Amino acid sequence: MPNVLLRGLDAATLSRLRADARRRGISVNRLIVETLQRERPGAEQHDDLDALAGRWSKAEGDAFAAAVAPFSEIDPTLWAAQPKAAYRVPRRRARRR
């Protein structure tokens, strides 16, 4: 396994690293390796809800669906209150060459 030399690390940062490593019961080297692997993983990671898929009971899924159902409804009075020009996108004219 290759080695890396870390230069220019200030004393305060090194002190925090040592305290974190001591608190977790690992070496400073292990802490740095784990941090780098977590921050720059080899495989692409997503911060989404995939880990929750399939974990809810039927009742929990139904309760969630009922709770978010109002978000799919459009209130026409909100659109009627705005003049059409407020949300119309102007056309661009074609350039003559």
pLDDT digits (tens, 9 = 90+) for 1-60: 788 888 999 999 999 999 999 999 999 999 999 988 888 767 666 667 777 777 888 899
Residue ranges of the domains in the chain? 7-43
Q: What is the pTM of this model?
A: 0.42
Q: Indicate the DSSP class of residue 85.
A: G
Sequence-ordered alpha helix ranges (H) in the chain: 11-24, 28-39, 58-68, 76-80
